[in-house]
Structure 1
Amino acid sequence: MMQEDGAANRKAITRFIERMPSLSTTVGKVMEICSRTDASPNELNRVISLDPVLTGQVLKLINSAYYSLVNKVTSLTRAITMLGMNTVKNMALSTAIIRSVSGAKKSQSLPTKKFWAHSIATGVCAKLLAKANGVPVMECEEYFVAGLLHDLGKIPFGDEYIDVLNRVKKECLPLITVERDMLGVDHQEVGRMIAEKWKLNEAMTCSIAFHHDVEEAPEEHRVRAAYVGLANMYANILDLGYAGDPFPAEDGADKMLKITGLTWDMFGEVALGVEEEIEKAQVFLQS
């Protein structure tokens, strides 16, 4: 019976994902350009400039407290020069995905505002953990976006998810354990399906698909998945937002710390800057 239910759930979720809007052509081109080693800032500038809405969103983000720049940036070319192609790509990707899923029908069991509050918190924690461990500042943005998008796979679940969340609360179990038991599919697998539909890069896809099962991630992407897994745990423990997992499986923390090279002290100290960074990152939801 469980196998039949699992197959039916997968079928319904697959249909939902097929109906989800694709990312805009502009964002697709932005991702394609930034994946090439020979790409130039001018190419990126030309593509984004053709989309006035995206241009406005990128400039709004750049001039927000999140980046804390001294002087206002009014030119997209200047923005790309100052922050780099990869950071601008991440801005475009984040805002496009949030726009795409914000109107998607979701179960009322996960309130939208609390869901995104958890997602923002996880992105911020991933970024701060990476920064604390010496990851270059420009690269830390990749960790923020991976954390921001880690729970995309929860969006297609319907009203049956209420029963999952009720059991999690009643029995104090990790969410992913109950998803697998009751639905025959978990949000990591569903998230991977969405990431593949949107042609996200492999590193981002692996962070979404393995943040609870870090050791199963391909070796070259395991470290980032571990940062996201730790950040997700952090957000849940500190009760930042709500994504249905108040009792994460904390026994994996030691393994993830070992994979990232973080110590428990470094892990704990991140809490000092979390609230301020989360406040700054709210601009991603307003774009």
Structure 2
Amino acid sequence: MPTIESIIDAIDQLKPLTGVAGKVIALLDDPDCGLSDLSDIIRHEPALTANLLKLANSAYYGLPGKIHDAKQAIVYLGMSQVVDLVLLVSCAERFSGSHEGYGLKAGELWKGAVSGAIMASDLAQIKGLKQKSLIFTGALLRDIGKVVLDQHIRSAAGKILHRVKTQPLTFPEAERQVLGYDHVQVGAMVARKWQFPGSLQCIIRFYHAPLEAKGCFMEASVVHLADAMCRKMEIGPGVDDPFYPGDGRVARSLGLDNAGIQGVMDNFGKKMAHINALFDVQ
């Protein structure tokens, strides 16, 4: 069983998000942030700007004409979309490798992160929620704890899988029994270590159990539902996927029925060819 010291050491070794990504995440809690504030943050990062423009000009967005600078991207796409793109670029490196402890080949955790973030954003738009970028970011980073726990879970995967297959346990419950921590708890530790806003920490900690979330119930519920939709569509499937029982109360609390949820998944399926362009950022 890993000690708290070994978990903290693994978090310390995890390359943190760039300074610019941290500044952008801080904007999620700043209602007074404007176009010039975001542009000033981005324009001092040439590599980030290059990747941002690569994404803005990809087939996924299908914009008329060529986007030449960050400020132009913000004007055409809107601040929310550009914040999402900056975070996609900044987070790609942390998720793109293989995570064998969870049965994930190279790129599968990243594909699941991006797909969940896009579907969560679509759900937020349907619900008319204002904090779309916060929800997008929460979905994108929801499994950051798996990156840290992967090295520990590799030797314990057999024990964890035996428990979930023979006992009425969810995968996180089995993780806690075998390892002492589950991936959402560790994800929340990463979020605190990196000084994410409290609302983002809350989503990462409670997205598997949004009914327990006191400060981010609606946002965590949207991310929970998007995560379930990824599993249903078998996007980036891992060994843990069969062991998250559905909870119809979450969808009902959001006022969504099966037809509405299916509509989001169908729409996402149509986007898949273009979305693949988002997985090429280095």
TM-score range, shorter chain: 0.7 to 0.9
Q: Which residue of 2 aligns with 1:230?
A: 225
String of CA shifts for 1:164-198, please: whole Å, max 9, x gaps: 56437744853212212211211111111111222
Structure 1 residue identity aligned to 2:39 = N
Q: Which residue of 2 aligns with 1:156?
A: 148
1:206 Cα deviation from its structure 2 partner: 1.9
C-alpha contact 1:106 1:156 (8 A) present in aligned 2: no
1:142-221 correspondence runs (5 A): 142-157=134-149, 158=151, 159-163=154-158, 166-167=161-162, 170-171=165-166, 174-219=170-215, 221=216
Following the alignment from structure 2 to structure 1, what is the Cα–Cα distance between the partners of residues 83 and 229?
26
Q: Which residue of 2 aligns with 1:24?
A: 18
1:1-287 correspondence runs (5 A): 5=1, 8-33=2-27, 35-102=29-96, 107=101, 109-135=103-129, 139-157=131-149, 158=151, 159-163=154-158, 166-167=161-162, 170-171=165-166, 174-219=170-215, 221-252=216-247, 254-287=248-281
String of CA shifts for 1:220-250, please: whole Å, max 9, x gaps: x111111111111121122221233232433
State TM-score, norm by structure 2.
Answer: 0.85
Following the alignment from structure 1 to structure 2, what is the Cα–Cα distance between the partners of residues 145 and 121?
12
State TM-score, norm by structure 1.
Answer: 0.84
Where structure 1 has 5 or more consecutive residues not aligned to the other structure, the ranges are none
Percent of aligned pairs sharing the same letter: 26
Where structure 2 has 5 or more consecutive residues not aligned to the other structure, the ranges are none
The 3 A distance-change label for structure 1 pair 124 and 80 is: closer
The 3 A distance-change label for structure 1 pair 232 and 281 is: same
1:251 Cα deviation from its structure 2 partner: 4.3
String of CA shifts for 1:3-35, please: whole Å, max 9, x gaps: xx3xx3433221100122222222233334564
String of CA shifts for 1:138-181, please: whole Å, max 9, x gaps: x5454333222211111112123532564377448532122122
* Count of aligned pairs: 277
Q: C-alpha root-mean-square deviation of aligned residues, in Å?
A: 2.7
Structure 1 residue identity aligned to 2:199 = A
String of CA shifts for 1:38-62, please: whole Å, max 9, x gaps: 4332232222111100001111121
Following the alignment from structure 2 to structure 1, what is the Cα–Cα distance between the partners of residues 27 and 116?
27
**SS where residue 155 of structure 1 aligns?**
helix
1:214 Cα deviation from its structure 2 partner: 0.6
1:69 Cα deviation from its structure 2 partner: 1.9
C-alpha contact 2:172 2:182 (8 A) present in aligned 1: yes
C-alpha contact 1:22 1:198 (8 A) present in aligned 2: yes
1:273 Cα deviation from its structure 2 partner: 1.6
The 3 A distance-change label for structure 1 pair 164 and 226 is: farther
